[in-house]
Amino acid sequence: MTPAELFDLSGKVALVTGGSRGLGREMVLAFAAAGADVVIASRKIESCREVAREVEALGRQALPVACHVGRWADVDHLAGTAYDAFGRVDVLVNNAGMSPLYPSLAEVTEDLYDKVLGVNLKGPFRLTSLVGTRMAEGRGGSIINISSIAAERPTPTEAPYGAAKAGLNALTVAFAKAFAPNVRVNCIQAGPFLTDISKAWDLDQFESTARTYIPLGRGGQPHEVVGAALYFASDASSFTTGAILRVDGGPR
């Protein structure tokens, strides 16, 4: 196969949670440009529709679906809607996530904790269980989890989030074993990316810290996740499963 053929997604269907903005939007558009039809899921349907129009402008089909991945019923509805529309899912990306700020560890409420674990861990578990089972029983596929460096190096301001992402890393390995050999399950462990979430950061302080502690000296641009995502989604990674790939600017 030529390099272009290795990364070709023509005739595939990809489902991306958190697909309306940030890294999710970049992956949605990259998959469409590589030939895939895309199911775009996020909480806000109009945001999904906006990205769907961008996909359609690339000549591919797009299905926007409102989904709160922390809710089991929403995840079940998302999977069912995708299969009703396309008959299959070839690529699943568990990208939706949240890491709300809190004043102190003692002030983390049960509601906040449950929401963080629900979106970052419970939802991916349920969606992977549903889609991965159907992939394994059918033509196979690829599942990509979007984790975080917080899974290995959490700060006190992201303790529940880091715990959830560490759990997602563990699920990556468990599902890779469960759904082999027809389904590959891999993980992108993302570092600090300058998405819309970074607008809440003190960017002057971040840039100073990045120059000191990140070998590449900066935060990532959203499009810089695309190479890893296309690798895992396509036949280029046909002998790779259970892998956790850091895309984080280098080891601290």
Q: Between β-strands 13-17 and 91-94, what pairing exists: parallel, antiparallel or unpaired?
A: parallel
- First vs last C-alpha separation in the chain: 37
Q: CA angle at residue 236 from 214 to 90, to 5 degrees?
A: 105
CA distance 121 to 124: 5
* φ, ψ dihedrals at 237, nearest 5°: -110, 35
CA distance 125 to 133: 12
Strand intervals (E) in 43-176: 62-66, 91-94, 141-148
Does the annotation count 213 as an active-site position? no
Cα dist. 184→27, 31, 109, 143, 187 in Å? 18, 17, 36, 6, 10
Q: CA angle at residue 242 from 126 to 190, to 5 degrees?
A: 80
From 83, 102, 113, 161, active-site residue? 161
Strand intervals (E) in 98-196: 141-148, 183-190
Q: Which residues are catalytic?
A: 161
